[in-house]
Amino acid sequence: MTWSAAQYTKFEDERTRPPRDLIAGIPTTDVKSAVDIGCGPGNSTELLRARYPAATVSGVDSSADMISAARKRLPELSFDLADITTWAATPGTYDVILANAALQWVPDHETLLPNLTNKLNPGGTLAVQIPHNADEPAHRLMREIAASGPWAAKFTGDAVRMHRPDANFYWALLHARLARLDVWRTTYYHPLANAAAIVEWFKGSGLRPYLDRLSDDERPDFLARYTAGVAAAYPAFADGSVLMPMPRLFVVATR
């Protein structure tokens, strides 16, 4: 799946609110090492460094474009190109592991989350935020248009499935392993200029696996159908603006 740092950061202010709240919920104070996995263009890594200025802070991401953007943003920090699943199984421990809006792209959370908590030093914290918007109109429309168009054969099985377990799943998986576990869900309401802005938002995230599977000839038709559906699902206010709800699940696990 291809990623564009420029597309993602079109809505940087809105995308940075959740990691700010997530990092504020980390109870660990004596932090010498912190890592941002799925760091994207480095906006969340920047917040992590601000919270722990004396720590060694680094980042990893599977997208070369995102890593390039993060290195330009924070040239004094170390950023590595790596898959989260592979990284979680490598040696090395940290006081804080941050995973903001990244783990929904990674399968097998039953194995992944314990592996990540095993990489924590005693008293260290794994802080996770996952978009919990699979039932929102914007995501439902992606699935419906993918299944009903002439491209339907390209979207069979779990080709574009994202992993969004609920709070009960994470509590059952982790609470007996840890000294402290906090789980909460917050809905952010983002005011955007118009319905087309919602499409632009998801072109930097949720639409990526759909658009990647379409040909150059198919993408315009898919996006036209999606844009029309979004405009109907998110009625505009008098000035043309729309309010986009974005539910997100937070998990803060301290060893």
Q: What is the pLDDT at residue 89?
A: 86
Confidence grade of residue 156 (pLDDT, cut at 50, 70, 90): confident
* Distance from C-alpha of 172 to C-alpha of 174, rounded to nearest angstrom: 6
In-domain check, residue 232: no
Domain-located, residue 29: yes
> How many other CB atoms are there within 10 angstroms of residue 7's CB atom?
17
- Residue 87 inside a domain? The answer is yes
Average pLDDT over residues 146-165: 81
Mean pLDDT of the chain: 92
136: three-class secondary structure by DSSP? coil
In whole angstroms, what is the distance from residue 198 CA to residue 87 CA?
32
pLDDT 10s digits, 237-247: 999 999 999 99
Greatest alpha-carbon span in the chain: 56
- Domain residues for 58? 5-132+162-192+243-254
Has residue 122 been placed in a domain?
Answer: yes
- What mean pLDDT comes out for the span 115-127? 97
Q: At what angle are helices 218-233 and 137-148 packed, to 10 degrees?
A: 140
What CATH number should be reported for the domain holding residue 175? 3.40.50.150
Please say if the pLDDT value at position 23 is more than 70: yes
- What is the DSSP code string of 52-82? -TTSEEEEEES-HHHHHHHHHH-TTSEEEE-
Which SS3 state, helix, strand or coil, does residue 37 take? strand
Separation CA 93–CA 124 (nearest Å):
9
Binned at pLDDT 50, 70 and 90, residue 15 comes out as confident
pLDDT tens digit string along 92-111?
999 999 999 999 989 999 99
User: Mean per-residue pLDDT for 212-235?
Assistant: 96
List of residues 6+ apart from 186 with CB closer than 8 A = 18, 21, 247, 248, 250
Tell me if 36 is assigned to some domain: yes
